Amino acid sequence: MQTYLQSFNILSPAEIDVFTANATTRVLKRGEFFITEGKVCKEVAFIKSGILRSYYTSASAEEYTYCLTFPNQFMTAYSSLITGNPTVENIQAMSDVDLLIIKKEVIDDLAESSINGLKLLKIIAEQQYLHLEKRVFMYQKDAAKARYLELFKSYPDYIKQIPVKYLASFLAITPRHLSRLRKEII
76 pLDDT band, cuts 50/70/90, is: very high
pTM for this predicted structure = 0.86
pLDDT at 139 over 80: no
Contact 52, 75 (CB under 8 A): yes
Long-range CB pairs of 113-119, under 8 A, 24+ apart, other chains included: 114/11, 114/15, 116/10, 116/11, 116/12, 116/15, 117/11, 117/15, 119/10
Q: What are phi and psi of 99, to 5 degrees?
A: -120, 150
* DSSP-derived secondary structure letter, 62: -
Element (H, E) at 99: strand 97-103
pLDDT tens profile 8-56: 899 889 888 888 899 999 999 999 999 999 999 999 999 999 999 999 9
CA-CA distance, 139 to 43, in Å (whole number)?
29
Rounded to an integer, the average pLDDT of 166-180 is 90
Pairing of strands 74-75, 24-28: unpaired
Q: Which residues of 69-104 are buried (b: 16+ CB within 10 A; e: fewer)?
A: bbbeebbbbbebbeeeeebebbbbbbbebebbbbeb
